[in-house]
Amino acid sequence: MTGDRIWTIAKTIEQRTLSPVTIMSSFRIAVLISGGGTTLRNLIERIDAGRLAVEIALVVSNSPKAGGLRFAADAGIEAVVIQEKGFADQDAFSREIFRRCRQTEVDLVVMGGFLKRVTIPEDFTNRVVNIHPALVPAFCGEGFYGRRVHEAVLEYGAKLSGCTVHFADNQYDHGPVIMQRAVPVLDDDTPEALAARVFEAECTAYPEAIGLIAAGRVSIDGRRVRIRPE
């Protein structure tokens, strides 16, 4: 998007499929997972507690062994396994994921520890969000995920790390930044200790960012994301 075109994300979705009342009362998301599903569990808990006004309409996993599938089952959420090996290439794999998202009529796709790269189609531009366990643009890009990120932060000697919620595009950790939360890096940190502190920040930042999008308070101007006050 060019600098003179500022789009409110929820408004763009409204123009495609929904009424304003629907956006506020039933904002539907899909959560993509690969492993334990800790992000999915956090979102479910926030929704159940009345702290996040969205509906998880679909969970997609690329592995039938993903532990997070049990959280979907326990919550009565539709879940589907789509394995990359069943498709000719990344584009075909991605088309099936987003076909299911369209079929389920989701408004936003949430990457919840999804370890496969996907090709985002045009109609899902600025409708896919990701969280990265560092302060983008530091310690991000291809190969930077999980423990590797925290090891790199410690090896570099950084004094701050944190998490970054951003819109996903077709480059690694590249889309416009929605929100960041910083945490200190302590002298005696291990990758595991730092990861735990960063994840604690993720557990508040990700639901907050999703809630802001669902409430229609997020807009994009070029690469700058603006959040409208209540």
Residue pLDDT, tens place only, 172-206: 899 999 999 999 999 999 999 999 999 999 999 99
- How does residue 22 score in pLDDT terms, banded at 50, 70 and 90? very low
Q: How far apart are CA 39 and CA 112, in angstroms?
A: 5
Domain limits, the chain? 7-227
For position 5, what pLDDT does the model report?
A: 33
Q: Whole-prediction pTM value? A: 0.88
3-state secondary structure of 208: helix
Residue 17's pLDDT band, with cuts at 50, 70 and 90, is very low
Which pLDDT value is given to residue 14? 43
Q: Sign of the C-alpha dihedral, residues 209, 111, 177, 182?
A: positive
Name the token pair of 144: 């930077």
Q: Given strand 224-227, what is the order of strands in its sheet?
A: 7-8, 218-221, 224-227
Catalytic sites, residue numbers? 132
User: Does the pLDDT of residue 6 top 80, yes or no?
Assistant: no
pLDDT of residue 99: 98
∠ CA 149-85-80, nearest 5°, is: 80
69-97: pLDDT as tens digits: 999 999 999 999 999 998 999 999 999 99
- Average pLDDT in the 163-178 region? 95
Task: Provide φ and ψ at 116, rounded to 5°.
Answer: -110, 140
Using DSSP's 3-state secondary structure scheme, residue 39 falls into: helix
pLDDT at position 111 over 60:
yes
- The pLDDT of residue 217: 97
Q: Topology of 7-227 in CATH?
A: Rossmann fold (3.40.50)
Strand partners, 59: 31, 79
Query: Predicted confidence band at 114 (pLDDT cuts at 50, 70, 90)?
Result: very high
Per-residue model confidence (pLDDT) at position 2: 36
- Nearest CA to 9 out of 230, 222, 215 is that of 215
**Interacting residues of 198 by C-beta distance below 8 A, sequence separation 6+:** 133, 134, 150, 161, 162, 163, 183
Q: pLDDT tens-digit profile of 23-44? A: 344 899 999 999 999 999 999 9
Report d(CA 168, CA 110) in Å as an integer. 9
What does the block give as tokens for 108? 């936003």
Q: DSSP string covering 67-122, please?
A: TTHHHHHHHT--EEE--GGGSSSHHHHHHHHHHHHHHTT-SEEEESS--S--PPPG
Considering the chain, what is the average pLDDT of its residues? Answer: 90
pLDDT at 230: 86
**49's tokens:** 């507690």
- Classified as helix, coil or strand, 150 is helix
Residue 228: the pLDDT is 95
